[in-house]
Chain A
Amino acid sequence: MSKEIIKRTKLEIAKSPEGLEGPGFFASKLEDVIGLARANSLWPLPFATSCCGIEFMATMASNYDLGRFGAERLSFSPRQADLLMVMGTIAKKMGPTLRQVYDQMAEPKWVLSVGACASSGGIFDTYSVLQGIDRIIPVDVYVPGCPPRPEQIIDGILKIQELAKNESFRRRNSDEYKRLLNSYGLE
């Protein structure tokens, strides 16, 4: 009986980064350790405007439980958020607000574009709707679907985690990154 419980509740914890191991010490790169910490404690800012936001609610709730991936704590202030999750149709009139939210987030920051509308305007090819948020802010990961299932949103978060884990320590100070921001008229 107890063996079964032990078998069923086998815990999987995040793997430690590569490094030198010995009795009483572990040496690794600071970059890897910080990447590990960042990836497993993302604070998402949900920018939910329509049905993809409903799917996100399911993603956060107990059945799918985004808390399993360390993204449990939603931040409704952009200043403390790491990950901007844009879920839903962004009207052109909403564009400046979205940009301001992105601009207020502290580095390092990632953007997840959830669903067809946020990624490309979706079915709303019309004068009032922004044809994809990547026209006004840089996007790291796109999640397709109309709306995507919670599994797909989780997959997108895992992709963001991979980016955070493997990001070079100096990326945010690089000329390439500055050029990217400048191409969006930021900073």
Chain B
Amino acid sequence: MNVVAVTKVFGSNEDNKVIALNGVSVKIEAGEFTALVGPSGSGKSTLLNVVSGLDHPTSGEVLLQNELISDKTGDEMSDFRRDNIGFIFQAYNLIPVLTVAENIEYVMLLQGKDRHHRRELVAQILKEVDLVGYEDRFPQQLSGGQQQRVAVARAIVSQPKIVLADEPTANLDSENGKSLVELMYRLNRNHNMTFLFSTHDSMIMEAANRIITMKDGVIIDDKIR
């Protein structure tokens, strides 16, 4: 993923204008486990929104595997996200009326994968996230840690090019948080899957092989371990 001189400005006049991103440029290589850190209001979430196409940059370009995504329309971006980006949200955001298995296979269903293939992948991923036996439960019947593991399974099951996670451990206790970080790290290692987190969590920072620090909408530090 290549972010080139991206600026995001909120508000239209001088009085309420906020520059959330100020000419940010960064390149994320395939297989990286990258943490975006910085104080609140530094622009981490805005950068995640822009690179995922949930928001458009005011200026600059976002490319994923040399495809320009910052100019895509709403429906084009939906298709692109479906096939290339996995999301893990702080509040899990599982679909409450679907079971664990249905939540996990949801994206594959949108991709048009056949039922047999979907079921096979769901069974496989449930083993990886240690949720075998929970297929038919609804999200509200699971603990926060289990829900977040379902969210991880949903994000990675369709083999996206990049997984974006916005404060994924913020709602979890330390034990569940640790277990989740280990899970994502394992997936990163085993499948060479690219992860980009915005986080305040020291456990994620410790596990990350790259830490990008932001402040006031600019990158002030970029360390690769």
Tell whether A pairs with B.
no
